[in-house]
Chains A and B, each alone.
Chain A
Amino acid sequence: MFSSKTIRSRHGLFLLQLAFTLIVCAFMVVPVLMSVTAGLTENYFVGLKSGLTTRWLLEVWDLYADSIWLSIYLALACLVCTLILGVPAAYGLLKCNRRWAAFVEEMLLMPVAVPGLATALALLLAYGGSQGFRTSWLFILVGHVLFTLPFMMRPVLSVMQAIDVVRLEEAASSLGAGQLKRFFTVVLPNCTGGILAGALMVITLSVGEFNITWMLHTPLTKTLPVGLADSYASMRLEVGSAYTLIFLMMIVPLMMIIQWVGHWATRRAERVGP
C-alpha cells in the first residue's frame, strides 16, 4: 500500500517528466517550424504580417534546380550500385565462415566509422589527379556508395538470417537448382523486405550526405546539401529557409516510410520468426 503522499509525489514526478520531455520536443521542433515559416514569409525581419509568399521557393528553384536534380540522380545511381554490390555481399557473408564474415563486415563498415572528411581526403589524394574522374559526378557517387553500402547490407543480411535462407536453399538445391538460379529465384524474392528497408535508407542518406560531398564537389557537380551550405552562406535568410523547406519535403516523407516499413517488418518477423 502506498500512502497518499507517495502517490502525490509520484504524480508530481510524472508532470515534471512530461514537462521536461515536452521542452526537449520543443527544442527539436521549434527551429524547424521557424525555418518553414521564414521560407514562406515575404520579409522575415518584419514578420508574418508582411504576408505569405511562394516567391522564395520559386527563387530557390531558379537558382538550385540543377543541384536538386543531381542529388536525386545521385541517390538513384547510389541505390543501383549498393544493390549490385551489397545484396550479393550480404549473401556471401551469410555463406562464408563466421570469423571471415565478421572481419569483412568490420572492414566494409570503416567508411561509416571514420569521419566523412577523412574518407573524402583519402579519395582526393589518391584519385584527385585523374582529371576526367575528379570533375565528373561519378567521383561523388563513389563516396556515397562507400558510405551507404553497410546500410544496404545490414538489413538484407538480418532478413536472410531471420528467415533461414540456408535451409530454403537446401530445398532448392536438392531439387537441382544451381547456385545462380537459387540466388535469383529463392534468395532474392525472400529478402524483399530487407532490400526495401535498405533502399530507403540508402536514398535518405545519399540525399542528405554533406561531409564527403563537400570535399569532392566541383562548381559543376553541386548536390542539394552543398547548395544548402552555399545558400546559408551567401543568400538571405528567407532563401536558405525556403531551400531547407524543399529539403524537408523530400526527406521527411522518406523518414516516415522508413519507420512504417520498420514497424511492418518487425510485426511480420514476430509473426513468422521463432
Chain B
Amino acid sequence: MSQDVLATEGQPARRAVFHPVLKRFRRMASHWWLAPALGFFCAFWLLPFVQLIAIGAQPDNSSQTLGYWAVLTHSQYLWSLLSTVLLSLSVSLIAVAVAGVCGCFLARHRFFGKSAVLAMLTFPLAFPGVVVGFLVIMLGGRQGLSAQIGQVLSGEHWTFAYSLTGLFVGYLYFSIPRVIMTVMAAFEKLDPSLEEAARSLGASTWRVVRDVLIPGIRPALISTGAICFATSMGAFGTVFTLGTRINVVPIAIYGEFTNYANFAMAAALSVILGVVTWISLSLARRFAGDSVGGGA
C-alpha cells in the first residue's frame, strides 16, 4: 500500500481543487521532516566518506602507487584481506551451525528454565568488542580458565587467547547471540508436521535435517550468517584487546593510520572493507526484511 494514495484519497474534497503546483508543494512539505536527519547525515557521513573514497585513490606513502591498486598488488594487504575474509566466513558458518542446533532445540521443546537459557544466550549481544576480547582472556589468557585447568592436568599453562584460536573464539562469542533469536523465530514458523511426515515416511534424523529443516529456514540462515560475516569483518575491539599478531583488516587500517600516517592506504582499505560489509548486510536484509546489523 502506498501512503500517498491513502493521504490523497481521504482528504476533504475542497483540497482537490488546489492548483497542481500547490498540491505538489504540500507533498514536498513531507520532505521537510526528513531535512534535519538528512542534513546531519550529509555533513558528517556522506561528505566525509566521499572524501575518504577520493583519498583512497591518492598515491600511497610507501609504494607511490594508487591506494586501491596497492591493496590489490601488495601481497601484505591482499593477504590481510584474504585472511580476514576466511576467518569471518568460517566463524559465520560455525556460529550459524551452533546457534542453529540450539535454536531448533529451544523452539521445539518446553522445559523448566528455558527463558533463563535464552536470556543467557542472548545477553552478550550488548557487549562491545573490547569486553569480548577480555572475556577470551578470562578463558584462555595467562591466568585464564584453560591455564588453570592445564596447571592441574599437566603442570603447564595452556593459553590460546593471543593466537588465531583466541580470535576465533572471540568472534564466535559475539556471533552466536546474533543468530539464535532469528533462527528460533524461523523454526517456530516452520510447520512441525512437515518434520513428522518425513519421519513417518522413514527418513533418518540426518535426512530430516538436510531435506526439511535446513531448506525450511534457509532465508534466516543466510541472513544471520551474512550479519555475522559483516560484524566479524569490521570487528576491531576484540583483536585490539587480544593484541593478536594476525593482521586482520581493521588492525591494518588502524596501523596504517596511526603508526605510519599512511592516509591513502588506510582510506583505501576502509572503503574496500565498507563495501564488503555493506554488500553482505544488504544481502542479509534482502533475505530477512528488517534486521539491522550492529558493530562489535
B2 to chain A, nearest CB (A): 6
- A139, closest chain B residue (CB): B44
Per-residue CB contact flags for chain A residues 6-28 toward chain B (1 = under 8 Å, else 0) read 00010001100110111011011
Among B250-272, those with CB < 8 Å from A are 250, 253-254, 257, 263, 266-267, 270-271
Among A104-151, those with CB < 8 Å from B are 104, 107-119, 121-123, 125-127, 142, 145-147, 149-151
CB distance A117 to B234 under 8 Å? yes
Q: Is the interface of A mostly helix, strand, loop or mixed?
A: helix
A-side contacts of B98, CB under 8 Å: 24
A271 to chain B, nearest CB (A): 20
- B52, closest chain A residue (CB): A122
CB distance B36 to A84 under 8 Å? yes
CB distance B237 to A117 under 8 Å? no
CB distance A20 to B105 under 8 Å? yes
Complex Cα–Cα for A154 and B294 (A):
13
Among A210-261, those with CB < 8 Å from B are 210-211, 214-215, 225, 228-229, 232-233, 237, 240-241, 244, 247, 251-252, 254-255, 259
B-side contacts of A196, CB under 8 Å: none
- A26, closest chain B residue (CB): B120
Could you tell me which B residues sit within 8 Å of A by CB distance?
A: 2-4, 6-7, 10-12, 27, 29-38, 40-41, 44-49, 51-52, 55, 98-99, 101-102, 104-106, 109, 111, 117, 119-121, 123-131, 133-139, 143-145, 173, 176-177, 205, 230, 233-234, 236-237, 240-241, 243, 250, 253-254, 257, 263, 266-267, 270-271, 273-274, 277-278, 281-282, 290, 292-295
Could you tell me which A residues sit within 8 Å of B by CB distance?
A: 9, 13-14, 17-18, 20-22, 24-25, 27-32, 34-35, 38, 44-45, 84-86, 88-89, 91-98, 104, 107-119, 121-123, 125-127, 142, 145-147, 149-151, 153-154, 158, 166-167, 170, 173-174, 179, 204-205, 208-211, 214-215, 225, 228-229, 232-233, 237, 240-241, 244, 247, 251-252, 254-255, 259
